[in-house]
Structure 1
Amino acid sequence: MAMQRVTVFVCVFLHLYLVEAAPKISLVKTLPGFNGTFPSKHYSGYVSLEGNPPKNLFYYFVVSERNPTRDPVVLWLNGGPGCSSFDGFVYEHGPFNFEAAKQGGGLPILHLNPYSWSKVANIIYLDSPAGVGFSYSPNTSSYITGDIQTAADTHLFLLKWFEQYPEFRANPFYMTGESYAGIYIPTLASDINKGIKSGLKPVINLKGYMVGNGVCDRDFDGNALVPFAHGMGLISNNMFKEAEALCKGKYHTSTNANCEKILNKIDSILDGLNRYDILEPCFHKPGVNDVPNGNLSFVPDSFKQLGVTDKPLAVRKRMYGRAWPFRAPVQEGIIPSWPQLMREISVPCTNDIVATEWLNNDAVRKAINANPESGKWNLCADIRYSHDAGSMISYHKNSTANGYRVLIYSGDHDMCVPFTGTQSWIQSLGYKIVDEWRPWLSNGQTAGFLEKYAGDFTFLTIKGAGHTVPEYKPRESLEFFDRWLQGKKI
């Protein structure tokens, strides 16, 4: 009994220490739109990176609701490149569900999210690189960057963050993200591993990483769409056979004019689909024929102003991460930012009104310690970004060779980064299968399929999910996230 009292005292002391050791100036006490008590501590603010010019990287940190002293610390990164990680916070697995304001305006109403990833882990949402979200620099020349520099800056951010939050240094550390974070995360893992080997302090207790619907390799990703479209019944068998014969499996690098002709035909057939989830409807621009008699009376004014003529689809903004229109995989060199793309083409099925209105509210920005110098918050920033790290296949091989656990997961209805390409590059690694392809269950139902390879490398699909998996399948996402972090069989 005495030993039990001592144990309870130690646990209470550690919890109190954890709460108090973090920077008090960063504590988030209230959030506009939410009435209630936070189920765990929230912190947000900046980590400044010295340099010429300096960079100020913004983070929002949600302490685990379960056991903060033992649960992993997990870094979340959205893709783009150049998209804010508040995408994940607002629309995917943050501590709140956002209920859009009724017609007439006002801030969204926040409710506790029963499937928040902070139920089982300490989550850092980071706006990266500088110029994205609330992260900024006094000199916008910092907004010219690329894969290598972004990984170096994020590594430095983590070293400084663990200096500010020393009570979390011993916790297992993982990284996860989606879409273009398929580049961010393996390159960052490589930098962290090099830092550990060179004796950098504090030591980051890296254990592994997860990537969802992530880009990896130009050829594998670029050749994935046509087989995916055929397998999903989106193009005919004859059309697929013609594409195979004319393009010989090379659907993005072929110079054959007849190949290009059939690919353009396929593009036109797929054009009306939501590329981020082929099961979901799209938000449309004016002029589509699905508005009865041109009557927009049922559409909120805020949507009309943005040219939206559908009824709003709940809170979903539908998309982000990063999708390249049509067949263009991630290429070496400058990648157009989302704002740049939208000035030149119509990017379909998109809406981010809820996050934009909430995060640009003065009271919200004050509550989360966002510096006014960061300017207006946008889901994706107009930065100049270069893909300069090449294929991620060698990075993944290096990670497993150094003992890091890897989980690659795919929403199986994403046409932006189709699972067919992801499965192909994983098979190219040549790892021995140690757990053969099988279903995995959530709530007693098949939630997807899984295959595990030597070196603790796992590939997992989520049935019926699109590009941003936790947005579509929150319960299932929390389950595989928790099981994998704990090292349990999924």
Structure 2
Amino acid sequence: MDVPKHYLFSILVVSLVVLFSDPLEAAPKASLITHLPGFNGTFPSKHYSGYVRFKGQRHPTRRHLFYYFVESERNPSKDPVVLWLNGGPGCSSFDGFVYEHGPFNFEAPKKQGEHPILHLNPHSWSKVSNIIYLDSPSGVGFSYPSIPTGDLQTASDTHTFLRKWFKLYPEFQANPFYITGESYAGIYVPTLVSRVAKGIRKGAKPKINLKGYMIGNGLCDSEFDGLNSLIQFVHGMGIISDKLLKEAEVACDGNYERNEDKTQCTTALAKIAELIMGLNMYDILEPCYHKKNPEATSTKNTSLPKSFQELGKTDKPLPVRKRMFGRAWPYRAPVRDGIVPTWPQLTQSLQARGVSVPCTNDEVATAWLNDEAVRKAIHASPKSGNWNLCLAGLEYNHDAGSMLSYHHNLTSKGYRALIYSGDHDMCVPFTGTEAWTASLGYKVEDEWRPWMTNHQIAGYLQKYAHNLTFLTVKGAGHTVPEYKPRESLHFYSRWLEGERI
């Protein structure tokens, strides 16, 4: 019996649809990670990594942006897709992968030259979400090449990355999508969310199912994030006396940020700087880690922000942290408009002034990610050069201004926002973040209260209208999931689910 041609054509079309929509086949097979040096066992979910390549709109150089994608261990076809961005600017998101909420915990190798031993992380954020760790902007981590960029260009490039990524992984296009990050990602995230939202309004394809964003200890506005919040924080923590606070208030006319150049104000601030310089600015509860022979990695001469020029008059080393892989995030606040010194540039400038290098230790990540077997396993190109936590030669321009208008516009349009702070971070103190979230003027819907994990108070929160929540994490520093992994997974998972924290 002859089969009608139109019937055969219909069968062919249906077969092609099934073939190309099968979630098991949609992700690029060449990007699948089958093993990782240092880990013996079975991955609890699929891992992918590779490059998304494209030319930029403002700067036509071809970018090669590197990502590491971890599917959810729960239900990858339904769970949210989350983009994670570390800050800097110019620092790799492998910081979050290795030290914070990635799928593994790293144990020190037993012998020199061996790989770190990887154990499954019981508090990985991949327990409840699909998560993309992106090295951005171009030149950071395994992404290449390094090009001059800024806030707006980075947002544009990352939006292009996302559109191309969702084409590579079409089975995730319908999943709820969130953009998250910490520190300078307080700038990256709102500018990117705004760019993605604009693309949605203009009908950009594929359509991204954007639902909201989350920022940890992130920058927002120099007036809120700067000296005004710092002085309030250190006084509240018992680091400076009532007498010195009153002296500074009078000398600086109540606004330290605007009057720091006045002689009397400068004198008062110098006294405060002397009291805080021996502290780990990224977690005042923790000691500092210092390399014995720190190396200067910068190739540029960049002047420090004025508020740092008086810090430190000694290079006396502080004790090495007992928690070997712990280190605090390498960033200084606030950021003002214009070229932003990157972390390696700042480090070199500090060393030249005889000031101790801030409390960081990225030795495990650096050794592991520069191992040839590891690089081959995760498909990192030799063209990317050596992996560094933060890029030394990045020319980066803070050109987006204050984030207050971004937050107001995005939340008023219905995008959910969780703004969280480790309450012992002196780099971007919670005092400033609490103030700017309140300054948006939204009605309080859930009055300041404790939130709990394991029957213990884990922090405090206040929820506003328009789905804006400010939350603190008790005892955590600048990189919250590093210090409080259990508590972080708790608020992260409940917020993604839209449940009460």
Q: Normalising by the residue count of structure 2, what TM-score does the alignment of the two structures yield? A: 0.87
- Tell me the residue number matched to 1:230: 235
- Tell me the residue number matched to 1:269: 275
CA 1:101/1:67 → structure 2, altered by over 3 Å: closer, same or farther?
A: same
Q: Could you list the per-position Cα deviations for residues 113-169 of structure 1 after superposition, in whole angstroms to 9, with x for gaps in the alignment?
A: 0000000000000000000000002xx4xx210000000000000000000000000
1:88 counterpart = 2:131:
no
- Tell me the residue number matched to 1:292: none
Q: Per-residue deviation at 1:350? A: 1.1
1:197 counterpart = 2:201:
yes
Q: Per-residue deviation at 1:100? A: 1.5
Choose the corresponding residue for 1:119, options 121, 127, 131.
127
Residues 326 and 482, structure 2, Cα contact 8 Å, conserved in 1:
no
- Tell me the residue number matched to 2:385: 375
- Tell me the residue number matched to 2:305: none
- Tell me the residue number matched to 1:297: none
Query: What is the letter of the counterpart of residue 186 of structure 2?
Result: G
Residues 411 and 468, structure 2, Cα contact 8 Å, conserved in 1:
yes
Residues 61 and 125, structure 1, Cα contact 8 Å, conserved in 2:
yes
Stretches of structure 2 lacking an aligned partner (at least 5 in a row): 1-17, 294-315, 351-355
Q: Per-residue deviation at 1:269? A: 0.7
Q: Give runs of aligned pairs for residues 346-365 of structure 1, distance below 5 A.
A: 346-365=356-375
- Tell me the residue number matched to 1:156: 160
Return the alpha-carbon distance in structure 1 between the equivalents of residues 267 and 137 of structure 2. 38
Single out whichever of 104-113 and 201-210 deviates more from structure 2.
104-113
Q: Could you list the per-position Cα deviations for residues 325-364 of structure 1 after superposition, in whole angstroms to 9, with x for gaps in the alignment?
A: xxx5111000011111111114321110000000000000
Q: Could you list the per-position Cα deviations for residues 210-264 of structure 1 after superposition, in whole angstroms to 9, with x for gaps in the alignment?
A: 0000000011111210010000001111111111111123223313211110101
1:210 counterpart = 2:218:
no
Q: Per-residue deviation at 1:480? A: 0.3
Q: CA RMSD in A?
A: 1.7
- Tell me the residue number matched to 1:32: 37
Q: Percent identity?
A: 66
- Tell me the residue number matched to 2:140: 132
Q: Could you list the per-position Cα deviations for residues 417-462 of structure 1 after superposition, in whole angstroms to 9, with x for gaps in the alignment?
A: 0000001111110000000000000011000001000000000000
- Tell me the residue number matched to 2:54: 49
Return the alpha-carbon distance in structure 1 between the equivalents of residues 108 and 453 of structure 2. 29
Q: Per-residue deviation at 1:409? A: 0.2
Residues 287 and 320, structure 2, Cα contact 8 Å, conserved in 1:
no
Residues 82 and 381, structure 1, Cα contact 8 Å, conserved in 2:
yes
Residues 278 and 414, structure 1, Cα contact 8 Å, conserved in 2:
yes
Q: Give runs of aligned pairs for residues 183-194 of structure 1, distance below 5 A.
A: 183-194=187-198
- Tell me the residue number matched to 2:179: 175
Return the alpha-carbon distance in structure 2 between the equivalents of residues 420 and 445 of structure 1. 23
Return the alpha-carbon distance in structure 1 between the equivalents of residues 425 and 319 of structure 2. 22
1:258 counterpart = 2:264:
yes
Choose the corresponding residue for 1:337, options 342, 347, 351.
342
- Tell me the residue number matched to 1:432: 443
- Tell me the residue number matched to 1:294: none
- Tell me the residue number matched to 1:290: none
Q: Per-residue deviation at 1:285? A: 5.5
Residues 34 and 109, structure 1, Cα contact 8 Å, conserved in 2:
yes
- Tell me the residue number matched to 2:423: 412
CA 1:145/1:47 → structure 2, altered by over 3 Å: closer, same or farther?
A: same
Query: What is the letter of the counterpart of residue 189 of structure 2?
Result: I
Return the alpha-carbon distance in structure 1 between the equivalents of residues 373 and 292 of structure 2. 33
Query: What is the letter of the counterpart of residue 167 of structure 1?
Result: E
Return the alpha-carbon distance in structure 1 between the equivalents of residues 179 and 196 of structure 2. 11
- Tell me the residue number matched to 1:5: none
Choose the corresponding residue for 1:77, options 85, 92, 101.
85
Q: Per-residue deviation at 1:398? A: 0.6
- Tell me the residue number matched to 2:353: none
Return the alpha-carbon distance in structure 2 between the equivalents of residues 347 and 400 of structure 1. 38
- Tell me the residue number matched to 1:281: 287
CA 1:107/1:30 → structure 2, altered by over 3 Å: closer, same or farther?
A: same
Residues 275 and 416, structure 1, Cα contact 8 Å, conserved in 2:
yes
CA 1:332/1:280 → structure 2, altered by over 3 Å: closer, same or farther?
A: same
Stretches of structure 1 lacking an aligned partner (at least 5 in a row): 1-12, 288-306
- Tell me the residue number matched to 1:485: 496
Choose the corresponding residue for 1:58, options 63, 66, 70.
66
Choose the corresponding residue for 1:385, options 371, 396, 420.
396
Residues 285 and 309, structure 1, Cα contact 8 Å, conserved in 2:
no
Query: What is the letter of the counterpart of residue 352 of structure 1?
Result: D
Greater than 6 Å deviation, 4+ residue runs: none
Q: Per-residue deviation at 1:314? A: 2.8
Q: Per-residue deviation at 1:17? A: 3.5
Return the alpha-carbon distance in structure 2 between the equivalents of residues 133 and 249 of structure 1. 42
Return the alpha-carbon distance in structure 1 between the equivalents of residues 359 and 403 of structure 2. 29
Return the alpha-carbon distance in structure 2 between the equivalents of residues 252 and 347 of structure 1. 24
1:463 counterpart = 2:469:
no
- Tell me the residue number matched to 2:323: 314
Q: Per-residue deviation at 1:107? A: 1.3
Return the alpha-carbon distance in structure 2 between the equivalents of residues 338 and 193 of structure 1. 30
Q: Per-residue deviation at 1:277? A: 0.3
Query: What is the letter of the counterpart of residue 455 of structure 1?
Result: H
Q: Give runs of aligned pairs for residues 13-24 of structure 1, distance below 5 A.
A: 17-24=22-29
Query: What is the letter of the counterpart of residue 85 of structure 2?
Result: L
Return the alpha-carbon distance in structure 1 between the equivalents of residues 456 and 328 of structure 2. 26
Q: Per-residue deviation at 1:401? A: 1.5
- Tell me the residue number matched to 1:104: 112
Q: Per-residue deviation at 1:308? A: 8.3
Residues 285 and 308, structure 1, Cα contact 8 Å, conserved in 2:
no
Return the alpha-carbon distance in structure 1 between the equivalents of residues 462 and 38 of structure 2. 42
SS at structure 1 position matched to 2:405: helix
SS at structure 1 position matched to 2:49: strand
Query: What is the letter of the counterpart of residue 185 of structure 2?
Result: A
Choose the corresponding residue for 2:483, options 461, 472, 478.
472
Return the alpha-carbon distance in structure 1 between the equivalents of residues 435 and 321 of structure 2. 37
Return the alpha-carbon distance in structure 2 between the equivalents of residues 71 and 480 of structure 1. 16
Query: What is the letter of the counterpart of residue 257 of structure 1?
Result: T
